[in-house]
Structure 1
């Protein structure tokens, strides 16, 4: 149970004074400070009990004005806040704050769909709008626009984009589809980025820049402000999509397949993020490890082969999709088939979706949210959890194979099952190494933590950095970005101190601490 942990610099009297001020400003029904409330915000997949990231309270505003009030009171009392959109950043800490004792600023109740423009294909949303809520709105109102959804669609549309999450349609680089933010600054002011900086501007959702410096990405993965609404570009519903599953039977097949796919991505033939996943993707979504093997150490090769046969997958499997007008899709199908079929030794089997047909069978590839992949947390039994280490690599088959072999050896040394994928973007690949563990097994948790720490070190030595990480490892990952004596971090700290002199917004997020907490935080 989470006993009350106070943030640095606040004693019980000062904290109680801050909570009392917040209750007066918001009403008691929007301030949560009981033990049960604190337990609710503990990371459900924590590598341990999660109390080292326990919140002191949670606040649930329903308007931007209330967010402003919260931020101003936090400044007055030096109460650190940890903003979350819906708190479903699972595998990265969920709603738990980096700094224990912070108050969670939970914007789940700020869930208005403010505008959806069919003609120009954009929406204006508050951070509490979830993928399922938005999908229902689009479906019920027959709006022919598609979201780009992540594998687990439980979370926030804006929250995912602000953490550089991805989806699997051509609009799947979600952070690049933000076009103008409304932000409460760390001192309680409001700023709009892009064209929204002009009062009454009619192009806020149409052009992502402004006059002078453009600040949208400054508020992505940062603690420089609290995003309270944003415009999101959406994909017009296509006439046709074609889908094919590609199974690669051998581990080494990733070399040639990655190079072909990287070329197709670069030339715009394939327009979506493509995930090379190993055989555990399917097995862990539908079964548990005990259904296949109960021995010690990683799954043996013969069990891996049985899994592949059962689910009709390869050692690696990926799915391809092509979107657009019918003749365009057909032309691209021919190009893709000609690229892969000689190496595969067989024809690709394409399935088509046509406008007007149900989309659910095609799920996330056509913008329909699901939560099935979340079942992977049950793989090891007990109170399961997952955490992913995801360095960014150039899109080279040889480099991907080398990284795969290195990470696989580390998993085997740790006695853990190797669950991995390579997400192929426009000009990069994200190598997602997923550690699945049983939180009730202290030894397994310890081995998982040590494995993650080792992979950070290995990737740094190889010249690769992680793009997004769990709160437990934010400091360690930030320290690997060390060019010119950590010049980027020094810049971040200068900006943090200028914008947030009291250090109240998400101290420690991605390794960026305010001056008053900097010493001793690293």
Structure 2
């Protein structure tokens, strides 16, 4: 049992007793406590392979099984770490925050209930974007998904961690409508109109009567979500848009200042993302195809890569969805605005219902090929993301880029960054791609990340999402009034989960029972 890690103040005898109790309610084929099992639930992209080891895992197939597991966990004071599918790579994957927690694997819960008239769906945690896409296609439903850049993960898990896609429904958390949640004491709650027996409006109105609790279970450890309602995008009559390339790093300013008003006016209703040249290069090639020079890539190599792929320093894909007449009118506005911004090139694109469809994120098609970027350096590839929220302002975006780019060069890393638009904000997503077989490189990742967090905090920028290693760091950076928000979160946690069994440490929220583990 060389890989066995136990929670604080826990014993092997208690773990064995808990394991037997899990087997009694689930069956032995759903309980995993062997060395190989524990290895299977490690973080595949971990910066530190010695951190976040589980003591085992259990797999549930029904709400009733989840409730039974929660009751056993309370009996033995054994922390659980729920995962939907465990594909949140770059943020922790299948691994728990707290060493020795038991992973509660919900990937076998895969039911889909679709209301084709209203365009809503209820999914369980194990439903992947591919599963939902196949369901829509097989049933000839006139709806589109919004998918993230890598789509093998859970629809629910992505929305509950504030993941994003590229269509007008790309801010997935905003499209949650109604949750079913197993609470830390095993009670079962439905939010919104789901609290009303047999309500036909559970997926139509998210608030119900009294406080609206859906967002309480986003990025939290207050309960285990077993069903999620979500709004789907009706298949549009047409799609029009353009792929736009800009030549210089400083063009980021004009790109942001041109697109931002169109986004705020809802001429653009999608979630466009400005990305640099490496988004293409790292997916289609490896670094050794271009150079063997150490440190960050030189301008000469970057120029060679851009020439080969005929791409700008920055690129953005802009799409319009809906009625064709409306799209044509909006396209004229878009074409004039982007043309006046001085692009390197504009490539128009269009589609009408009934024509062959391009299989991309812009049409809500699941995909996984962008994950090939982890092969950039060779070896066992991985990445983590640094993603602060910044103002939707060209000067602010350019300044943030210059600070971050200088840090990439300082730490000898190749820059892959993007600026994704919400309606009023930008998310500056920076992928820190690495080779886990390069000890020198891996030794730079932690100080590099912490430096980026400190740089952003100095500007008043906080991350919206982060890896297990940095949840305490990021939660602590939200420091108004002596971290009043964190204190509020932990008051709620202790009230709902006095034994601290649901995902202690998730999003930096530590129950009193494990308060000593903060920052460990």
Do they fold alike, i.e. is TM over 0.5? Answer: yes
Alignment of 1:365 onto 2:359: no
Shift in alpha-carbon separation, 1:33–1:92, aligned structure 2, 3 A? same
In the TM superposition, what is the alpha-carbon distance from 1:516 to its structure 2 partner?
1.1
Alignment of 1:174 onto 2:186: no
Alpha carbons 1:242, 1:351 under 8 Å: kept: yes
In the TM superposition, what is the alpha-carbon distance from 1:337 to its structure 2 partner?
0.5
Q: Which residue does the alignment assign to 1:22?
A: 22
Q: Which residue does the alignment assign to 2:272?
A: 274
Find the partner of 2:442 among 438, 441, 445: 445
Q: Which residue does the alignment assign to 1:39?
A: 39
In the TM superposition, what is the alpha-carbon distance from 1:519 to its structure 2 partner?
2.5
**Gaps in structure 2 of 5+ consecutive residues:** none
Distance 1:446 1:365 in 2: 37
Query: What per-residue deviation string (whole Å, max 9, x for no partner) do you get for residues 222-279 of structure 1?
Result: 0000000011100000010013111010111111110110000000011111111110
Shift in alpha-carbon separation, 1:454–1:345, aligned structure 2, 3 A? closer
Q: Which residue does the alignment assign to 1:380?
A: 377
In the TM superposition, what is the alpha-carbon distance from 1:202 to its structure 2 partner?
1.4
Alignment of 1:470 onto 2:467: yes
Q: Which residue does the alignment assign to 1:404?
A: 401
Alpha carbons 1:123, 1:232 under 8 Å: kept: yes
Q: State how 1:30-179 maps to structure 2 within 5 Å.
A: 30-49=30-49, 51-113=50-112, 115-179=113-177
Question: Helix, strand or coil: the match of 1:337?
Answer: helix
Aligned pairs, how many? Answer: 519
Larger displacement relative to structure 2 (29-38 or 305-314)? 305-314
Find the partner of 1:518 among 509, 515, 519: 515
Distance 1:399 1:521 in 2: 33
Alpha carbons 1:169, 1:365 under 8 Å: kept: yes
Shift in alpha-carbon separation, 1:4–1:509, aligned structure 2, 3 A? same
Alignment of 1:297 onto 2:295: yes
Q: Which residue does the alignment assign to 2:415?
A: 418
Question: Helix, strand or coil: the match of 1:388?
Answer: strand
Question: Helix, strand or coil: the match of 2:500?
Answer: coil
Q: Which residue does the alignment assign to 2:283?
A: 285
Alpha carbons 1:2, 1:54 under 8 Å: kept: no
Distance 2:350 2:514 in 1: 55
Tell me how large the CA RMSD over aligned residues is.
Answer: 1.1
**Gaps in structure 1 of 5+ consecutive residues:** none
Query: What per-residue deviation string (whole Å, max 9, x for no partner) do you get for residues 199-240 of structure 1?
Result: 111110100101111110000000000000011100000010
In the TM superposition, what is the alpha-carbon distance from 1:348 to its structure 2 partner?
3.5
Larger displacement relative to structure 2 (345-354 or 311-320)? 345-354
In the TM superposition, what is the alpha-carbon distance from 1:2 to its structure 2 partner?
6.2
Query: What per-residue deviation string (whole Å, max 9, x for no partner) do you get for residues 69-102 of structure 1?
Result: 0000000001100001000001001010000100
Distance 1:398 1:345 in 2: 18
Larger displacement relative to structure 2 (406-415 or 308-317)? 308-317
Distance 1:512 1:225 in 2: 13
Q: Compute the TM-score of the two structures, normalised by the length of structure 1.
A: 0.98
In the TM superposition, what is the alpha-carbon distance from 1:48 to its structure 2 partner?
2.5
Distance 2:32 2:164 in 1: 32
Query: What per-residue deviation string (whole Å, max 9, x for no partner) do you get for residues 89-129 of structure 1?
Result: 0100101000010000010000111x111211111111100
Query: What per-residue deviation string (whole Å, max 9, x for no partner) do you get for residues 23-72 of structure 1?
Result: 001000000111111111111111132x3101111111000000000000
Q: Which residue does the alignment assign to 1:489?
A: 486
Distance 1:210 1:2 in 2: 50
Find the partner of 1:311 among 302, 309, 312: 309
Find the partner of 1:210 among 200, 208, 211: 208
Alpha carbons 1:112, 1:125 under 8 Å: kept: yes
Distance 2:410 2:466 in 1: 22
